[in-house]
Amino acid sequence: MSNKKYDVCIIGGGITGTALGYFLCKLGKTSVAIFEKSYLSSGSTGRCAGGIRQQWSTRPNVRLAMRSVKLFERFKEDVGMDIEYTQGGYLVLSYTENEAAQFERNVLMQREEGLNVEILSPSEVSKRYPYINIEGLKLATFCQTDGHANPHKAVIGYAQAIRKMGGAIFTHTEVTDIDVINDRVVGINTSRGYFSCDVVVNASGPWSREISELVGVELPTESYRHQIMVTEPLENFFPMMAISFSGNFYMRQTQHGQFILGQGDKDEKPGINYNVTFKFEKELTSKMIRIFPFLKNVRLIRHWSGMYNMSPDAQPIIGESEKVKGYYYAVGYSGHGFMVAPAVGEALAELLVFGKTLHTDISYLGLKRFENMVVEKEKNVV
């Protein structure tokens, strides 16, 4: 035992851990410590595309994302960091009749939620974006208030604010065990020694299941590699994120002019794997040159990989364990954790401080939903 004590210990220095730490400190709970085994944003957050989208197929996800956008809009003012946040919109492209019909239903629901989403025919897409090849396109949707930001800067912004408000961040500090007495969390063991606490939050991204095993709570999450690459810079002309679920790709231009491109691979096996493959480069570049002909002869600069921490319904798993008091989790984001993290961090902080959420309902995201198996799978995922 030691005299190192924090009310809340957070495992993971990605966007989830730092957003939560920030909102806890903001609500006056500054007895908070984040433990990160490597450097801040070294996990999925620092490897992601930074897309921020509200066009989801399930109503709760739309609400969560809309709340996050409100918080991203105020990020610079509230948190004190310019995170290259741009509301250049998201153009969602559909290449199948079924999906196009689903998009039309999604848009009705999204508009009911107050989201301004346009439906564009292929010729409207061509007129508006003459540099996109519309071959095979059935329909597109566009939401101007969607956008993107620099994920590293978001984490660093939150981290600096946490330290300023009195919270602690231990980088290069691995959590090796969670101490539970009488079904209640009482502390954690780390590579820097023992810390007592009342609450532990599992915000460990790709390692969510392994961390949960430390307290004997089974999380239905699996991590899958996702590769991503970046080109040399071009003059800035492409303000939106373009994405397609049926076409399996996403791409956007950064503030510095580079294009970030990615796609999923349904043949990936679960497990942590940071290798990259030539197959990915070949497949994605030929597809992207066909749809975005201006990318022809543009050089690739870098190619890396990160993990999607997947849940069975492709929606995050957030809440407190019923089995172990004081053990919380915010994991399983299934490839869209960056964009919802501010709303999740705010909601979880409110839950910890007030015992209830004030801005966004996250009760539907608990582990319990998997018990009765009536889960609605989020469809809008690459």
**Interface with ligand FAD in residues 95-154 (CB under 6 A):** none
Asked if 89 interacts with ligand FAD (CB under 6 A), we say no
Q: At 9, which helix (H) or strand (E)?
A: strand 8-11
Binding residue (CB under 6 A) for ligand FAD from 8, 10, 21, 37: 37
Nearer CB in complex with ligand FAD: 11/117 = 11
CB 125 within 8 A of CB 95: no
Asked if 345 interacts with ligand FAD (CB under 6 A), we say no
CB 221 within 8 A of CB 207: no
Q: At 33, which helix (H) or strand (E)?
A: strand 32-35
Using the rule CB under 6 A, give the single segment among 109-117, 122-130, 197-205, 271-279 that binds ligand FAD.
197-205
Asked if 50 interacts with ligand FAD (CB under 6 A), we say yes
The Cα 116–Cα 318 span in angstroms is 28
List CB contacts of 122: < 8 A, sequence separation 6 or more: 134, 137, 138, 139, 140
Asked if 86 interacts with ligand FAD (CB under 6 A), we say no
Binding residue (CB under 6 A) for ligand FAD from 49, 107, 229, 317: 49
φ and ψ at 18, to 5 degrees? -75, -35
Exposure class string for 293-328: b at 16+ Cβ within 10 A, else e: eebeebebeebebbbbbbbbbbbbbbbbbeebebbb
Asked if 264 interacts with ligand FAD (CB under 6 A), we say no
Count of residues engaged in binding ligand FAD, rule: CB under 6 A? 40
Binding residue (CB under 6 A) for ligand FAD from 24, 132, 203, 318: 203
Asked if 328 interacts with ligand FAD (CB under 6 A), we say no
What character string, x for contact with ligand FAD (CB under 6 A) and - otherwise, covers 293-322?
-------------xxx--------------
Strands 32-35 and 168-170, bridge-based pairing: parallel
Q: What residues line the site for ligand FAD (CB under 6 A)?
A: 11-17, 35-38, 42-45, 47-51, 174-175, 203-207, 211, 226, 228, 262, 306-308, 333, 335-339
